[in-house]
Amino acid sequence: MLEPTPLDERKQQILKAVVSDYTVTGMPVGSQVLAAKYFIALSSATIRNELADLVGTGYLQQPHTSAGRIPTDRGYRYFVDFLMEAEAASPTIRRTVKQEFESAPRSVDGILEKAAMVLSLVTENVSLVTAPEVSESRIKHIDLVSLEPQSVLIILVLEGNLIKQQVVHLERATIQEDLSRMAAMLNQKVKGQTADELSGRLDQLGPDRAEQRRIIERLIDSITTHQAQRQTVVLHDGVRNLLRHPEFVEVGRLEELMELLEQGAQLASILQQVEFDKDVEIVIGRENTSSGLRECSLVLTTYKMADRVRGTIGVIGPTRMHYGQVVARVRLVSHATSDVLAHLGN
């Protein structure tokens, strides 16, 4: 790691100008362009000296000797930490987001899918949305349906009308009538608790017939363990947007990335590693642990439901992206999602 060279005001401005220009043109930025577009008071020679320094300290690089400069990952990092200006999302964008969410179905799944779709639409990148952890969600309703004599379908209605199902095999045959009675009882005891909480409170169940109690224990056990081992689902949308970015003209880049997206497990663990120091977290290029993301950046934030942080939402795009704008739009969609989820009832 290079020593943390503090940058004087002018170097900062030049770095900022390079990043800004490069993100829109996609071409290495030369000293003359900088002098003409951003620093009319300075000559190109002066800027050349500064640029050479910025290359020396690792904030910029040259693709080849006679080319302009482009930011390094370190340069982008400095930019997003200290130089980036907040950009409010445009009214047009706001309207789009609002309209799209109005047509969203009234279920958590539907809303998150819509969020992924909208986010990829407004950022022109790939969007990522993690579904809430089921084990942390409050249970609103339980239903038990007899499938075969010894097999029961458990239906959990969680807050936000999220429905989870699982099939459990019992040791002995149980008829629907008994199941319905147990379900009624469970609904009274269990309402408003999370699956996590449930596991500790078996003793609170009233003293029923031992046989029924055994079955209920079996069901609850099944609910808690089943939910625990289920891994986080990661939705994504907008791969088509990525194809338009010039950095992906050679499909080699894309291949590793697609693999990551299509087998959500690895992606989930990457997202879980991100620590949220601020409201929006940015991971740049090689800061990513995964090799498929070496030339990409993540812009992530969280969304809430029932006043608790429930999942991650963000985008994945080329390192050369318009960070200020993307941050604003990710934030916008995150808030919109939280809002819609809040109105879903609980």
Partner DNA sequence: TTTGGCAGTCTCGATCCGCGAGTGCTAACT
Partner DNA sequence: AGTTAGCACTCGCGGATCGAGACTGCCAAA
Given the rule CB under 7 A, which residues bind DNA? 27-28, 30-33, 41-46, 48-49, 51-52, 55, 62, 64-69
Residue in 118, 151, 111, 157 with CA at minimum distance from that of residue 134: 157
φ, ψ of residue 82 to 5 degrees: the values are -125, -25
Cross-strand partners of 130: 234
Under 8 Å between Cβ of 233 and 131: yes
Angle (nearest 5°) at CA 314 between 243 and 161: 115
Q: How far is the CB of 35 from DNA (least distance, A)?
A: 8
Cα–Cα dist 303/284, whole Å: 21
**Which does residue 69 touch among DNA, a copy of itself, none (CB within 5 to 8 A, set by kind)?**
DNA
Q: How far is the CB of 12 from DNA (least distance, A)?
A: 14
Closer residue to a copy of itself (CB): 163 or 202: 163
Q: How far is the CB of 36 from DNA (least distance, A)?
A: 10
Closer residue to a copy of itself (CB): 211 or 255: 255
**Which does residue 44 touch among DNA, a copy of itself, none (CB within 5 to 8 A, set by kind)?**
DNA
Residue in 173, 175, 185 with CA at minimum distance from that of residue 209: 185
Closer residue to DNA (CB): 27 or 265: 27
Cα–Cα dist 115/97, whole Å: 9
**Which does residue 31 touch among a copy of itself, DNA, none (CB within 5 to 8 A, set by kind)?**
DNA
Closer residue to a copy of itself (CB): 56 or 345: 345
Q: How far is the CB of 237 from DNA (least distance, A)?
A: 33
Cα–Cα dist 213/301, whole Å: 43
Closer residue to a copy of itself (CB): 75 or 318: 318
**Which does residue 225 touch among a copy of itself, DNA, none (CB within 5 to 8 A, set by kind)?**
none
Closer residue to DNA (CB): 62 or 290: 62
Cα–Cα dist 81/56, whole Å: 20
Name the site residues for a copy of itself (rule: CB under 8 A): 106-107, 140-141, 143, 145, 147-148, 151, 153, 155, 157, 161, 163, 165, 167, 180, 184, 237-240, 243-244, 248-251, 254-255, 258-259, 262, 345
Cα–Cα dist 299/84, whole Å: 14
**Which does residue 64 touch among DNA, a copy of itself, none (CB within 5 to 8 A, set by kind)?**
DNA
Cα–Cα dist 270/292, whole Å: 11
- Residues with Cβ within 8 Å of 190's Cβ and at least 6 positions away in sequence, in order, are 139, 142, 198
